[in-house]
Structure 1
Amino acid sequence: MLYGPPAAGKDTVTSALTAVDDRYVYFDRLKAGSGKSSGYRPTSADHLAQLHDRHLIVYANERYGNIYAVDSPRLDEIIIAGRVPVVHLGQVAGITALRTGYPARWLTILLWCPRDITRARLHTRGSSDLEERLRVWDETQADLAAAEPGTFTMVLRTDQRTPAATADLIHRTLTGDPHNVPPLREPLP
């Protein structure tokens, strides 16, 4: 699980992970709503409700006027194929939901960058909703402050290491390769 505020590097680190080992696969969440559909499995709110009624939704949240969901059938599909799902989350409640609702050997990684770096990254990628995403950054920081100790296996600053170095560290930690693994908890600003 990759947790972090907008523009912390979840997509970039996931791309780097898939370059390290093709067993890693981005978990494409279900999305009901409008806007960007790339990277999601578009669906309807009615379909999500049906899946929820059948206890197939592990976690769902609303953000940016949309509903996003992690479903157990897609997790099953990835894991049965011998692959490693990389799930992006922006709420600590999602981490808890996945740990309790879909027991597995989860590695929980907080990807972090300061707010000014987030602003610069959002500006560079041409985000049209900059202020809303910065508000979400603030919400993520507050959510993080309420997280239980031990919520994260790793805390990594994406403004202090390259995506490739971050992916390599995650891969070595997941595969148990202890050679030169740096500290897994980097200080937050």
Structure 2
Amino acid sequence: MKKIILLSGTPASGKDTISQHLTRIDDKFVLLKKHKTGTGGKLDNSYILIEHSKFESMIEKSEFIQYHYRYNRGYGVSIKELNKIFDSCKVPIIHVGKYENLKPFKELEGVEVVSILLVVSKNETIKRLNARHLDDAEEIESRVNAYIEERAEIASLISSCNSLNFDFMINNDNKSASDIARKIHKISEE
């Protein structure tokens, strides 16, 4: 059966670092490159950068399993990119950001989805953001605000007895990314 590892969490919760460790532990894991519009944020090779008009066209043509807008940028998980990973008999790691982005993946037929919420404190988030966005106070503020909003949304869901629909929650404040990656690897083998 096909399998997907979904990593969700507030900004700077460790999704990228844990994914890097997971792909080193076992080469069957591959980080799915999302399509991204806009400028700013992470500028590494973990995204397929496209123009806004192309992003909108892909939405109209239903080429994304899931897409959303965050930090004035569009992010989308392409069906084509996912199928390329499946065709190579690999397990995609997908960063879904907010918890509501889980639903389209959980509805896929013939695919086992392992969803993991990474939890980190506000102080640790700020520390990580400052290290990552050295000279970009606006980007840091935007991500801290997103952290505050997302934690409030999660707290509201929990207080109203709604399920978050994650298979696992991992506190990533004081644990090494390699230890968490090994834990996720073990979970994925069960």
Partner of 2:147, secondary structure, is helix
Q: Return structure 1 stretches of 4+ with deviation > 4 angstroms.
A: none
2:131 is the alignment partner of 1:117: no
Using a 3 Å threshold, how does the CA distance of structure 1 residues 78 and 114 change in structure 2: closer, same or farther?
A: same
In structure 2, stretches of 5+ residues that fail to align are 1-5
In the superposition, the TM-score normalised over structure 1's length comes to 0.86
2:57 is the alignment partner of 1:50: yes
Which structure has more relative contact order (CA 8 Å, sep 6+)? It is: 2
Partner of 1:52, secondary structure, is helix
Identify the residue that residue 12 of structure 2 maps to in structure 1.
7
CA positional deviation for 1:103 = 5.7
Give distance in 1, aligned partners of 2:109 and 2:79.
7
Identify the residue that residue 180 of structure 2 maps to in structure 1.
166
- 8 Å CA contact 1:2, 1:109 repeated in 2: yes
Per-residue CA deviations over 1:20-59 (Å, capped at 9, x if unaligned) read 1011111110011112442110112222222222222111
CA positional deviation for 1:116 = 0.6
Give distance in 2, aligned partners of 1:90 and 1:44.
21
Amino acid at match of 1:87: I
May I ask how many residue pairs the two structures share in their alignment?
Answer: 176
Using a 3 Å threshold, how does the CA distance of structure 1 residues 55 and 126 change in structure 2: closer, same or farther?
A: closer
Counterpart among 151, 155, 158 of residue 141 in structure 1: 151
Counterpart among 70, 78, 82 of residue 71 in structure 1: 78
- 8 Å CA contact 2:7, 2:95 repeated in 1: yes
In percent, how many aligned pairs have the same letter? 26
Give distance in 2, aligned partners of 1:102 and 1:138.
34
Partner of 2:111, secondary structure, is coil
Identify the residue that residue 92 of structure 1 maps to in structure 2.
99
Partner of 2:16, secondary structure, is helix
Amino acid at match of 2:169: V
Give distance in 1, aligned partners of 2:11 and 2:113.
22
In the superposition, the TM-score normalised over structure 2's length comes to 0.86
Bigger drift between 65-74 and 120-129 goes to 120-129
In structure 1, stretches of 5+ residues that fail to align are 177-189
Bigger drift between 111-120 and 30-39 goes to 30-39
Partner of 2:112, secondary structure, is coil
Give distance in 2, aligned partners of 1:89 and 1:132.
18
- 8 Å CA contact 2:66, 2:76 repeated in 1: yes
Identify the residue that residue 131 of structure 1 maps to in structure 2.
141
2:73 is the alignment partner of 1:59: no
Partner of 2:150, secondary structure, is helix
Q: Which structure has greater strand proportion?
A: 2
- 8 Å CA contact 1:56, 1:72 repeated in 2: yes
